[in-house]
Amino acid sequence: MTHHNANDLNLAIDNNKLKPLFKTKAYKHAFALALDWAIILATAYFCLQYFHPLTYILAVLIIGARMHALAILMHDASHYRFLKNRKWNDLLTNLFILYPLFSTVEQYRQNHMKHHRHLNTEDDPDWISKLGKKEFTFPKTKREFLMTLSSYLILYRGVRDAIWFLKRFQAPKESSDKAGLSKPRLIFTLSLLVGLTVANLWGYYLLFWVVPYFSTFFMFQYIRSVAEHYGELAYDNLLTSTRSVKPNLVERFFIAPHQVGFHLEHHLYPAVPFYNLPQLHQLLMENPEYNSQAHITQGYVIGLMNELGSFEMATQLKAEA
């Protein structure tokens, strides 16, 4: 049975140092949100100014990465770590993140809270939905893993993931968004359709939103999902069944925005907002049990890639088979 929170582990942490880390600062979240959107718009603008196949590929990578960054901010908001007023917390998150990404925070939260309560068990909807799926089965050879990533770049797997997500994330029974058409969402959708049509921006929307969404956005989500819970992990203890990855600067921008690499820390203390996770990590490292047992990986390209594999072992097993 997997441990689900810090209380189960009885980690001796100085409460005077821990308590301040739960404090939310809405301006930090809002600034991160504004910066992500600014990067998306600036990327599209500069790509149009200097249009070339290579600059467009770079734009798709950057925009997909910032879409993923927006999704990380949504994840914080699903834990009510953005605004104290829960109604405004959800409304602003939907308007500026989830409606543009074709979902709602209510849909995401329903699934995500079950994931936290029943981590890596048959009652964890994330775990069960991925169990046995080829892309989440490890070890893999480097070639197999890179082939999976390349299938996102041709939009094939991104479209499949989008359909899979839509099926998984249904609106909560008590929600007014049962048909996916709550009043705010309906207003947003109609405004978007009318705005794109009147301004004749459908081509730009396709190039700089739809294509990144179905390719790099889901690709970066896949990499992070794998990093958090798959490959060379022991599932008998939370400290070893959830991975934290320390990215370099490039990885932080493209794969692990807004401190999302500190995933083990998040599972221990989900009420700590993303901007306090580095301090939480430092505090936890002072605890001998955490320091000795926590699964912490250095980097995605090198550290994670090696762990996902035991690539040599996978190759050898296939050769013997």
- Please, what is the angle between helix 156-168 and helix 142-153, to 10°? 80
Highest mean pLDDT among 120-129, 147-156, 180-189, 252-261: 252-261
For the segment 108-116, the average pLDDT, to the nearest whole number, is: 78
Query: What is the residue-averaged pLDDT of the chain?
Result: 86
Distances (CA, A) of 27 to 22, 118, 161, 184: 15, 32, 33, 24
| Among 68, 69, 73, CA closest to 29 | 73
d(CA 202, CA 205): 5
pTM equals: 0.88
Span 58-105, pLDDT tens digits:
999 999 999 999 999 999 999 999 999 999 999 999 999 999 999 999
Q: DSSP assignment of 179-202, as one string? A: TS--HHHHHHHHHHHHHHHHTT-H
Instruction: Say whether the peptide bond before residue 270 is cis (omega within 30 degrees of 0).
Output: no
Asked if residue 185 has pLDDT above 60, the reply is yes
Q: Is the pLDDT of residue 191 over 60?
A: yes
Taking alpha carbons only, the member of 300, 285, 288 closest to residue 246 is: 300
Q: Exposed, middle or buried by CB within 10 Å (0-12, 13-18, 19+), for 258? A: buried
Sorted by where each begins, the domain ranges of the chain are 6-320
CA distance 199 to 195: 6
Answer for the pair 241, 233: CB distance below 8 angstroms, yes or no: yes
Q: How confident is the model at residue 141 (pLDDT cuts 50, 70, 90)?
A: confident
Non-local CB neighbours of 266 within 8 Å, separated by 6+ positions: 272, 277
Q: Is 278 helix (H, G, I), strand (E, B) or coil?
A: helix
Point out which residues pair with 245 in neighbouring strands: 297
Percent above pLDDT 70 for the chain: 87
